[in-house]
Structure 1
Amino acid sequence: MLTYCTNIHRGESWEEVRTAVWPRVLEVKRRVFPDRPFPVGLRLSARAAREATPELAREFLEECKRNSCFVPTLNGFPYGAFHDTPVKEHAYLPDWREPARVEYTLDLVRLLALWLPEGCTGSISTLPVCYGPSVSREEFTRVREHLVLVLQELARHAGRGINIILALEPEPDCFLETCREVAGFVATLELPEQLRPHLGVCFDCCHAAVVLEEPREAFAVLAAARIPVAKIHVSSAIRLPAVPPGALAVFDEERYLHQATLVAGSDIRRFGDISHALAAPPPLSGEWLVHYHLPIFDDGNKSYGSTNAFIREVLSCRPRGALLEIETYIPEVSELPAEDLICREFDWLRSIL
């Protein structure tokens, strides 16, 4: 199954999702899947999810049916405003240590349980516990309690034939950066057996490339730990084999964290943001990998390259059944209108599948 994530479109309230985001989704559907049902990778903020009352949610379900669309997955990572203000580290708040993250995720579960087609396994991607490398013992206990609350709700829905996976999304500089770390974390949770199938992974190609993850090994580790790969974010990082003057600075924008890895032979240096790398003492030479979510058709130019080869590697060994979701959320990096950019990404991805 192939879709794209609607976090590329601005829309924080339910009204904005319906009036600003949805018409763009239908335009992409018209151009990409004109003659068959279109899976929608819907991003809902906590505000939009809360505002989508049962009545409004049922109306949206009918709207989907009228337009031959369906919702197999929700992006539950960014809680609040995502486009019009700098978010940086705030993109990860509230995290799984806080009850607000549970409330938000349960709202998403309520909605997806209504919208998910019969026989389809759904997914909700979420942040990898929190931003930062560690949590205290007390915080870990709270994280486990909060995750169990959501997983118990998913198990109740599974009893009615509605299967949804909560998909942790590893990311650079977060508590869980790699699939191996996810496997270790899930083991320490010591979940009841009936809850295990409902906790999985959203494998983001951009994130994995930046932390130098090897796809075949990552998927093998998850399979051995019986952790499902619910979806794969088809996304591309910036690759700079060498840094021309100013090349790194071009991508230093104020809204999002752009974690960077410098590989100089056997020496690997990590930076929490491009701004940190630019402030580091010179010389900085070697290959750079930067978390940026380039349009996946963008192979770069004389100033920068991309990790599109990594996407091809991931696709060649991806687990069966994993949903593919294109995720590009900085449309300004391209001169194309967002809908044109998305359609071109679909064309590129289809050409290599």
Structure 2
Amino acid sequence: MKAIGYCANVHPGRNLGQLRESLKGPMARIAQSLAQTTLPVSLWLSAETIRELSTDPQKASHLRDQANDFGISFVAINAFPYGNFHAQRVKHAVYEPNWTDGRRAHYTMAVADLLPLLVADGTEHISISTLPLGWRGHFSASGSGASVGIASTALEQIASHLHSIEKTTGLHITLDIEPEPGCAIETSEELVGFFSHCLPATTRAGVHLRRYIGACVDVCHVAVMGEPPYEFFDRCVKAGIAINRVQLSSAIKGTHSAHDLAALAQFDEPRYLHQVVSGFGAARRMWEDIPNFLVDANADMQALAFTNVAANPHIVEPTHSLANTNDQQWRCHWHVPIHNAMINGLETTSNAITGTLEAAMRLPNAPLIEVETYAWTQLPHIDRLSNDQDIEAGIVQEILYAQVCAATAQVASDIT
């Protein structure tokens, strides 16, 4: 297994100036605290930062040299957020522009063009993560079939571009689609369906599409959709889709009890979108943010309470009732620290980390592994870390926890 790093989208990086400050500040201090030979870092590059770097390619080389001086190696790029991921309000904006908009392909190719200058000498492969086509409602506004066709054509163009870069520089760059609740691709089943219909395991114009387009698996997203990571991996492997990157992250979960719903309400915050999913399979239902879910959940509780008090068999539960799902547990898209089994009185999906790593060890290729917890400053007040030093210590703790989980997974893998 490759060394475990972390995704730097947790740090401000709206422009090159902010990125440089984050590199010489928190990133450098985290690397120093871990005292590893080299700390693998997945870099978030906004469109504005890319524009600044593209005006003078030597700026990218300088960034790489600075990172090397701090004991940091850029091993992956997060090109999911195009705009400012640390704006006061991000929400649905993180999914824009989607893959029907030419700006998304142009930005992604510009990221790829800079990578030979950003990576350390001897690097053979680097991953760029991207959104799963777009937010479902926005992406399919002009018709799902038309949108998928436009997106698949753009991805083919990206594959051709990455092929040209590899021929010229020897650097193998993959663009890795990251399924997410509420998006055009949410699950492994949908990912396989998209690849089967739009990115077949064939060569087009001399380019093997799947050499350059693969998957990035976010463990929080998988948990929210109620899909065991090993099943996700297995389905992709059988379909011939390379999993080039795994993001270790935890979601929060609870029941429809008054305690858990009150605790969940404290996680509602103005910056990021926190999708909630209840049920499994055909009964699975999604709410796009915490307030939407709580409206239905509270209405459901009031209806049930009234039914119990009145003892009236003629009162019917509302049609939106959460009791209509086949499971009374909900899961929420909230990237919480992976070493916390509980947070603010709610359980997390932290116990999936070791199993995910064990499953990753069985993949045909060794994926990049990174911790991705970006919302430290948005946590409920009791758990919130507001100063840089505390957040950096938390990230160090996460990486160390992931390393322990990896060691445990390795032992289990060796036994089986």
TM-score range, shorter chain: over 0.9
Identity of aligned residues (%): 31
Distance (whole Å) between structure 2 residues aligned to residue 58 and residue 114 of structure 1: 5
Match of 1:340 in 2: 393
Match of 1:246 in 2: 262
Match of 1:180 in 2: 189
Deviations 1:52-105 (A, max 9, x none): 130211111222232332211000001101123211111100011001101111
Equivalent residue letter for 1:351: V
1:14 aligns with 2:6: no
1:125 partner SS: strand
The alpha-carbon distance between structure 1 residues 307 and 190, as it changes in their structure 2 partners (threshold 3 A), is closer
Is contact 2:31–2:71 with CA below 8 Å preserved after alignment? no
Q: Which one has a bigger Cα radius of gyration?
A: 2
Equivalent residue letter for 1:169: E
Deviations 1:2-48 (A, max 9, x none): 1111111122001110023442111000011x240221111111111
The alpha-carbon distance between structure 1 residues 250 and 99, as it changes in their structure 2 partners (threshold 3 A), is same
Task: Give the unaligned 5+ runs of structure 1.
Answer: none
Correspondence list, 1:72-221, <5 A: 72-117=75-120, 118-132=122-136, 134=140, 135-159=143-167, 160-191=169-200, 192-193=202-203, 194-221=208-235
Q: Give the deviation of 1:266 after TM superposition.
A: 8.9
Deviations 1:198-234 (A, max 9, x none): 1111100000000011222211111122211111110
Match of 2:41 in 1: 40
1:313 aligns with 2:355: yes
Q: Give the deviation of 1:264 after TM superposition.
A: 8.9
- Of residues 82-91 and 162-171 in structure 1, the stretch that sits farther from structure 2 once superposed is 82-91
Distance (whole Å) between structure 2 residues aligned to residue 149 and residue 268 of structure 1: 35
Is contact 2:113–2:165 with CA below 8 Å preserved after alignment? no
Q: How many residues align?
A: 352
Match of 1:323 in 2: 368
- TM-score when scaled to structure 1? 0.94
Is contact 2:226–2:280 with CA below 8 Å preserved after alignment? no
Match of 2:314 in 1: none
2:73 partner SS: strand
Equivalent residue letter for 1:326: V
Distance (whole Å) between structure 2 residues aligned to residue 351 and residue 2 of structure 1: 11
Distance (whole Å) between structure 2 residues aligned to residue 294 and residue 114 of structure 1: 33
Distance (whole Å) between structure 2 residues aligned to residue 269 and residue 13 of structure 1: 38
1:349 aligns with 2:402: yes
- TM-score when scaled to structure 2? 0.80
Match of 1:269 in 2: 285
Is contact 1:73–1:123 with CA below 8 Å preserved after alignment? yes
Is contact 2:251–2:334 with CA below 8 Å preserved after alignment? yes
Equivalent residue letter for 2:166: A
2:402 partner SS: helix
Is contact 2:341–2:351 with CA below 8 Å preserved after alignment? no
Deviations 1:299-321 (A, max 9, x none): 11572010011222211211241
Match of 1:282 in 2: 300
What is the root-mean-square deviation of aligned Cα atoms in Å?
Answer: 2.0
Distance (whole Å) between structure 1 residues aligned to residue 50 and residue 353 of structure 2: 31
Distance (whole Å) between structure 1 residues aligned to residue 244 and residue 78 of structure 2: 12
From the two aligned structures, give the one with the greater helix fraction. 2
Match of 1:255 in 2: 271
2:108 partner SS: helix
Distance (whole Å) between structure 1 residues aligned to residue 63 and residue 280 of structure 2: 51
Equivalent residue letter for 1:346: I
- Of residues 281-290 and 202-211 in structure 1, the stretch that sits farther from structure 2 once superposed is 281-290
Distance (whole Å) between structure 1 residues aligned to residue 213 and residue 85 of structure 2: 25
- Of residues 78-87 and 277-286 in structure 1, the stretch that sits farther from structure 2 once superposed is 277-286
Is contact 2:124–2:170 with CA below 8 Å preserved after alignment? no
Distance (whole Å) between structure 1 residues aligned to residue 173 and residue 4 of structure 2: 17
The alpha-carbon distance between structure 1 residues 22 and 97, as it changes in their structure 2 partners (threshold 3 A), is farther
After the TM superposition, which segments of 4 or more aligned residues of structure 1 sit over 4 Å from their partners? 264-267
Is contact 1:10–1:21 with CA below 8 Å preserved after alignment? no
Distance (whole Å) between structure 1 residues aligned to residue 44 and residue 280 of structure 2: 37
Is contact 1:297–1:348 with CA below 8 Å preserved after alignment? yes
Task: Give the unaligned 5+ runs of structure 2.
Answer: 302-321, 407-416
- Of residues 85-94 and 139-148 in structure 1, the stretch that sits farther from structure 2 once superposed is 139-148
Distance (whole Å) between structure 2 residues aligned to residue 186 and residue 264 of structure 1: 23
The alpha-carbon distance between structure 1 residues 264 and 46, as it changes in their structure 2 partners (threshold 3 A), is closer
